[in-house]
Amino acid sequence: MKVLVAVKRVVDYNVKVRAKADGSAVDLANVKMAINPFCEIAVEEAVRLKEKGVATEVVVVSIGPKACQEQIRTALALGADRGIQVEVEGDLQPLAIARLLNGVVAKEQPDLIILGKQSIDGDNNQTGQMLAALGSMGQGTFASELVVEDGKVKVTREVDAGLQTLSITTPAVVTADLRLNEPRYASLPNIMKAKKKQLDVYSPADLGVEVSGNIKILKVEPPAERQAGIKVESVEQLVDKLKNEAKVI
């Protein structure tokens, strides 16, 4: 079984994000970048499938500028076999990303595609579902458990009412939720080995995809600061403030 994993380059989750002074975009100057946390979970799950003998090859793909090769190398250090970069400049919308990934799927013919359920920058939660639709593949989103047996993928997914278990025939798309696993740390020897692993670079034209978008960001601004809370001495004082100051009762 060949497993394809998509990873995205995002601002490290420990970094406090700031908007540019003109409000045109997020300020990325001198900001630490990393693999999207949900994508890291997807890589870990693919590597575990290989360690169990279920997967024979794990291929990592990232779409973006040349700088995203850093995140591909990180995924290779975590245990992936080879990497693919689709080099595109500028921001891409989920549908464009899904079309490019579908082009990679057509080239690679993987049995299983694993993505993070969403990225922590755009927070759209759309790419996996769109990719499954474009490729007419079964999908299991928000996966908290993944088991491959008898040629099928059994996915336990987190839904509002609890847990739902699906059995999906391959090829299939699975999007990883937070509780699917805990990603490992890359060891120094594996980081050095990752530098020598194969990394192919494609353009959208190589995949027969025209990148376009119909959404434009008008303004980026930080959320309004929340006012500090206060302590009250008694229930009577609380009721008085709710009634006369907050005017909610």
- Cα 4 from chain centroid? 13
Domain membership of residue 16 (yes or no) is yes
Domain membership of residue 191 (yes or no) is yes
Could you give phi then psi for residue 13, rounded to 5 degrees? -65, -15
Return the bridge partners of 3, or none: 58, 112
Joined together, the tokens standing for residue 47 give 């590597």
The SS3 call for residue 19 is: strand
Joined together, the tokens standing for residue 153 give 């993928």
Q: Which domain holds residue 207?
A: 2-244
Domain membership of residue 52 (yes or no) is yes
Other beta carbons within 10 Å of 117: 23
**C-alpha distances in Å from residue 107, one per residue of 57, 103, 110, 148, 236:** 15, 7, 9, 23, 69
Other beta carbons within 10 Å of 161: 6
Provide the number of structural domains found in the chain: 1
Q: What is the pTM of this model?
A: 0.87
Residue 248: predicted pLDDT: 87
Cα 102 from Cα 136, distance rounded (Å): 10
Residue 21: predicted pLDDT: 87
Domain membership of residue 132 (yes or no) is yes
Domain membership of residue 48 (yes or no) is yes
Residue 107: predicted pLDDT: 95
Question: Average pLDDT over the chain, rounded to whole?
Answer: 93
Domain membership of residue 234 (yes or no) is yes
Domain membership of residue 249 (yes or no) is no
Residue 137: predicted pLDDT: 95
Domain membership of residue 102 (yes or no) is yes
Report cis status (omega within 30 of 0) of the bond before 171. yes
- The CATH number of the domain holding residue 149 is 3.40.50.620
Residue 136: predicted pLDDT: 96
pLDDT tens, residue by residue, 83-134 = 999 999 888 899 999 999 999 999 999 999 999 999 999 899 999 999 999 9
Tens digits of pLDDT across the chain (249 residues): 999 999 999 999 999 988 888 888 888 888 999 999 999 999 999 999 999 999 999 999 999 999 999 999 999 999 999 999 999 988 889 999 999 999 999 999 999 999 999 999 989 999 999 999 999 999 999 999 999 988 899 999 988 888 999 999 999 999 999 999 999 999 999 999 999 999 999 999 999 998 887 888 889 888 888 888 889 999 999 999 899 988 888
DSSP letters, 60-96, are: EEEEESGGGHHHHHHHHHTT-SEEEEEE--S---HHH
Nearest to 182 by CA among 77, 44, 3: 44
